[in-house]
Amino acid sequence: MSPKVISRLALGAYLLIFFGYLLGPLVVMSLTAFNSSGFPSVSPWACFTFEWFDVLFKDQRILNGIKNSIIIGIGTVIVSIAIGLSAALVLTQVWPKLRTTYYTIIIAPILIPGVVLGISTIVFWDRVSRLLGPSTDALFHNGIFLTILGQSTFIASYAMLIFVARLARFDPGLTEAALDLGATHTQAFRKILLPFMRPAIASAAVLAFLASFENYNTTTFTFGNYPTLTIELAQKVRYGINPSISSLAFIIVVLTVFGALAFEAYRRNTGNKERAKEGKAAPKSGGILPGFLRGNPAAVVLVLLCFTVITAVGTAQSYSPEQCKMDVRAAKQLEIDLRIEALEEKRRLRELGKTHEGPDIFGTPEVESEDKAPSSSGAFGDVFKDLEQGD
Partner 1 sequence: MGAGVTVNLENVWIKFGDFVAVREANVNIKGGDFFSFLGPSGCGKTTILRAVSGFLDPSEGRVLIGGKDMAGIGPNKRPTALIFQNLALFPLMKIWENITFSMEVAGASAGDRRKRADELLDMIALSGQGDKFPSELSGGQKQRVAIARALCAEPDVLLLDEPLSALDLKLRQHMRTELREIQQRVGISFIYITHDQGEALTMSDSVAVMRAGIIDQIAGGHEIYDHPATPFVASFVGENNVFRGKLQSVNGNEAVIRTNRSGDLLAQITPTAVGKMKAGDDAMMFVRPEALALGEASPDSKTTISANVLNEEFEGNSYSVFLEGDGGKQIKMSLPNLGQDRESSKGSSLALHYDASTAVVMPAGELASE
Partner 2 sequence: MKKPMIFSEFFKNNGPVMGSILMVLVGFWIIVLIVLPQLSMLDFSFRFNLPPAELGGPKDNYTLKNYKQLVYGAAGSEGTYNTVDLMVFVRTIVTAIFVTIANIIMCYPLAYYLGQSKGTSFARLLVVMLIIPYWINEILRAFALRIIFGETGLINEVLTFLHLTAEPIDFIRQNYALYAGLGYAYILLMLFPMYNVIESLDRNQIEAARDMGASWIRIHRRIVIPHAKPGIASGATMVFMLSAGALAVPQVLGGPSSLWFTQLVYQWFNDSLNWQQGSAYAIVLLFSSIAIVLTLMRIFKVNMGDIGK
Could you give the CA distance from residue 342 to residue 359 in angstroms, rounded to a whole number?
9
Q: Which partner, partner 1, partner 2, none, binds residue 298 by CB below 5 to 8 Å per kind?
A: partner 2
**Please, what is the angle between helix 143-167 and helix 60-93, to 10°?**
40
Please, which of residues 240-279 interact with partner 1 by CB under 8 A? 276-279
C-beta closer to partner 2: residue 325 or 376? 376
Contacts of 336 (CB under 8 A, 6+ apart): 38
Closest approach of Cβ 74 to partner 1, in Å? 27
Nearer to partner 1 among residue 46 and residue 188 (C-beta) = 188
- Beta carbon nearer to partner 2, 15 or 132: 15
**Residue 26: closest CA among 308, 261, 251, 316:** 251
Give 189 or 325: the residue with its C-beta nearer to partner 2. 189
The distance of closest approach from Cβ of residue 274 to partner 1 in the complex, given in angstroms and rounded to an integer, is 9
Binding-site partner at residue 263 among partner 2, partner 1, none, CB < 5 to 8 Å by type? partner 2
Among 148, 155, 192, 383, binds partner 1 (CB under 8 A): 192
Within residues 152-181, the interface with partner 1 by CB under 8 A covers: 171, 173-174, 176-181
CA distances (Å), origin 59, targets 119, 199, 235, 384, 385: 30, 37, 14, 9, 10
Q: How far is the CB of 188 from partner 1 (least distance, A)?
A: 8
Backbone φ and ψ for 385, nearest 5 degrees, come out as -60, -45
Sequence-distant (≥ 6) Cβ neighbours of residue 52 within 8 angstroms: 33, 34, 242, 243, 244, 246, 247
Residue 370 interacts with partner 1 (CB under 8 A): yes or no:
no
- Beta pairing partners, 35: 48
Q: Is the separation of the CB atoms in 35 and 41 below 8 Å?
A: yes
Least gap, CB of 207 to partner 1 (angstroms):
23
Where do contacts with partner 1 occur on this chain (CB under 8 A)? Answer: 171, 173-174, 176-185, 187, 191-192, 195-196, 276-279
